[in-house]
Structure 1
Amino acid sequence: MYCKFHNSIAELGEAPWASLTQHYGPTLQYPFLHALEHSGSVSEKSGWRPHHLGVYSDDDLLAAMPLYIKSHSYGEYVFDFNWANAYQQHHLSYYPKLLCGVPFTPVTDERLLVTEHANLSALLPAISDAIRQTAEAHNLSSFHCNFLPENRSRQFVSNDMPQRVGVQFEWQYQHETNFDDYLNSMVSRRRKSIRKERQKLKENHISIRRLTGSQISAEAMHIFYLCYQHTYLKRSGHTGYLNQAFFTLLRENFNDNMMLVIAEENGEPIASALFLYNSKQLCGRYWGALTERDGLHFECCYYQGIEFAIEQQIPLFNPGTQGEHKILRGFRPVFSYSNHWLKHTGFHNAVTRAVSEEAEAMRQYKRDCDALLPFK
């Protein structure tokens, strides 16, 4: 058994990668990760240098991890800017660092992808050694593994990578038959409020189209991209992390795993949201609007996703990170987990203490959020 690092997802190969990810969500699938790299949205120039790990027995791929050498901390959603500032104050370099995760995607899913017959007890120490060795070889300050399942996070803790706890909000399928069935599980006040939000859009002549697969035309994707760029430009001063080539590649190679929402006012497009899905998970990833309308974001990004998940009987819907406003619409608070190793012993010990203290605050925050859920 040996470990090897790869400079692109293509080096590992679509079929070997697919053999490891068939039971996981859409953002771990080869066409998605390949589109990020092939479009140039993820590259050394953008601060995301691919450095994927493959673990082999002879020439057979036993395990893999999506890894990136990062020159910044943007697009990760587990915020370590304070750690980077502390390094700077001590005249040390925090970047480059090594990240295990999916770029621009705060969605919990597996990070250590293994074949069914792999010996996990032998893999973890070998992978830990390989990570530490590549940190030395590339002068990396640290290793971070974001949005991994709790059981996998505990295994990384046993390899001296302390756990950091966060809170996200997700919708969970409870065998509803339609959206009204879902609303009926809520208290009357919230049920009426959501119905009023949706009705107001109809009264203002705003209609919604939901497209999947071959229904997603090049024109529809162009509408979406204009909305996406407009919103990023308004909020952040740039046109977004992802370029048009990325979304074109998704449409060409991943459209069976895409759901596109387009909102129109008097027949003219005004907003759009793009979702990725498979039988395991629905992910609400990208949104944009050419004009603001009350309730439009909730309709496109939340209610349309819930309706679609009910229709497809998808067990989980992750609408994106942050936002306590999701709670009153039925998105439950759940813990998210990340693990961290810092090469500098003093900083590693300080981070270990910090994330332990932070975890109790996160547990209290989740309890507070649980108390706000709108269900009967």
Structure 2
Amino acid sequence: MNAELSVRVHSRLAEVPAKQWDTFGSPDAPLSHEFLSALEETGCLGEAVGWIPMHLSFAAKGGGVPFAAMPAYIKTNSFGEFVFDWAWAEAHSRAGQAYYPKWVIASPFTPVTGRRLLAPAEVPDSSREAMLERAVKAGEAVGVSSMHWLFCTDPVLLEAPMLVQRMGCQFHWHNAGYRDFADFLDRFNAKRRKELKRERRQVLDAGIEIERIAGSQVDAAIWNRFHALYRSTFDKHGNYPALSAGFFHRIGETMGEKIMLVLARRKSNLVAAGFFLVGEDTLYGRYWGASEDVPSLHFEVCYYQGLEFCLERGLSCFQPGAQGEHKVSRGFEPTPTWSAHWIADPRLRAAIARHVEAERLHMEGYMQALECRLPFKKESGC
């Protein structure tokens, strides 16, 4: 494939047909056409929240049918990204420059790792490098201060000299071929295994019944109740509940088996629920809400039910969301994440690169310390 490309900017994902989007390397659930278009068409994005769709598609030079894309958004703030860059915004301000607008390539409000250059596997690196170069030229033409590929796994992005690569940390579970949940627990040391069993028993003793259902099985009443729980929990913690009830109704209809809800009921009353996206080999834990403070209910709904689901389906990875050192004692391992950043101003790019390198050294030490807090039977000198 010729590495010379043309690029087109799309203000609505609907401009790219869903069947065509699916040919771009079969994007996983968080970057699927159904998920991203639902965000746009149910009022979750736009100028009010600072996520303005501005996607890129790529075709051979001279036009033709696109063969690749980047899901991208002009950002007027840093809300909903989970790669914190307020210090970078401040540095731009001190230098007399505006940091916003910037261009972010990611799934909105969804800090999950994966490819950000969406293209079939047979597309060579030379074409992917050309995609990056054309994207940066588009950024220069638009006049953004920077471009950010968040939580990316693309080798081209992580090796590009023009980009600053930033390391982060999340807590992921990896399937080591466990037969079932009991087999997974058998890897734990005796103390932590007993504590985890006690946590699960607390939920049962509170009279809570747990059920897992696919998105296709969720009716309107359950979606409305889940949304109310989600909103109240976000409000309680001072966060902004960006997702509308219409969004959940929409993806329940369009994504079906790619969605899993964990429902927690006391008798017939739904008191808590968790929302998950089901990928090809990964489960993505996203949102939860609860109307009661039941000991260990959060762990059961958001972690243990997800782990059981992965084991039943043979999924290889569970990403339960951003942050949360409490996940380590429950078998989620500190895992490096990466983002790649293009900074327009060369001086600021150099300063940010120095900051990111110092940050990486600190992050590596932090993760190494967390490795020694894993609940597994000791296999090292920690």
Superposition TM-score, scaled by structure 1 size: 0.95
Per the alignment, do residues 92 and 186 of structure 1 end up closer, same or farther by CA in structure 2, a change over 3 Å counting? same
Q: Give the match for residue 246 of structure 1.
A: 247
Show the counterpart of 1:374: 375
Partner residue in 1 for 2:293: 292
2:21 maps to 17
Map residues 9-88 of structure 1 onto 2, 5 A cutoff: 9-22=13-26, 24-57=27-60, 58-88=63-93
How far the C-alpha of 1:329 sits from its partner, in A, is 0.3
How many residues align? The count is 371
State the one-letter code of the partner of 1:19.
Answer: T
Unaligned regions of 5+ residues in structure 1, if any?
Answer: none
Q: Provide the rounded CA distance (Å) in 2 between the counterparts of 1:260 and 1:21.
A: 27
Q: Identify the residue that residue 10 of structure 2 maps to in structure 1.
A: 6
Does 2:133 correspond to 1:129? yes
In the TM superposition, what is the alpha-carbon distance from 1:37 to its structure 2 partner?
0.8
Q: Secondary structure of the equivalent of 1:60? A: coil
**1:202 paired to 2:207:** no
Partner AA of 2:245 in structure 1: Q
The 1-side partners of 2:179 and 2:347 are apart by 54
**What corresponds to 2:176 in structure 1?**
174
Which whole-Å CA distance do the structure 2 matches of 1:301 and 1:177 have between them? 21
- Within a 5 Å distance, the mapping from 1:1-376 to structure 2 comes to 1-22=5-26, 24-57=27-60, 58-124=63-129, 126-149=130-153, 151-155=155-159, 157-158=160-161, 160-236=162-238, 238=240, 240-376=241-377
**Aligned in 2, Cα 1:192/1:367: closer, same or farther, shift over 3 Å?**
same
Give the % identical residues.
36
Alignment check: 8 A CA contact 1:145 1:339 kept:
yes
Tell me how far 1:180 sits from its aligned partner.
Answer: 1.3
Q: Which runs of 4+ in 1 moved over 6 A?
A: none
Separation of aligned partners in 2, 1:113 and 1:228: 31
Deviations 1:128-185 (A, max 9, x none): 3333333233221111111011634423x33x10110011100111222221111111
d(CA) in 1 for partners of 2:328, 2:122: 40
1:256 and 1:122 map into 2 onto residues whose CA distance is: 33
Q: Distance in 1 between matches of 2:247 and 2:49?
A: 14
C-alpha separation in 1, matches of 2:288 and 2:277: 12
1:152 & 1:168 partners in 2: Cα distance?
22
Contact 1:25 1:281 in 2 (8 A): no
Taking the aligned partners of 1:352 and 1:147, their CA distance within structure 2 comes to 17
AA paired with 1:135? G
Deviation at 1:80, TM superposition (A): 0.2
Q: Which amino acid aligns with 1:54?
A: S
Give the conservation status (yes or no) of the 8 Å contact 2:216–2:253. no
Change (3 A) 1:190 1:285: same
More deviation, 69-78/134-143: 134-143
Q: CA deviation at 1:256?
A: 1.5
TM-score of the two chains, using structure 2 as the length reference? 0.93
Deviation at 1:213, TM superposition (A): 4.0
8 Å CA contact 1:216, 1:255 repeated in 2: no
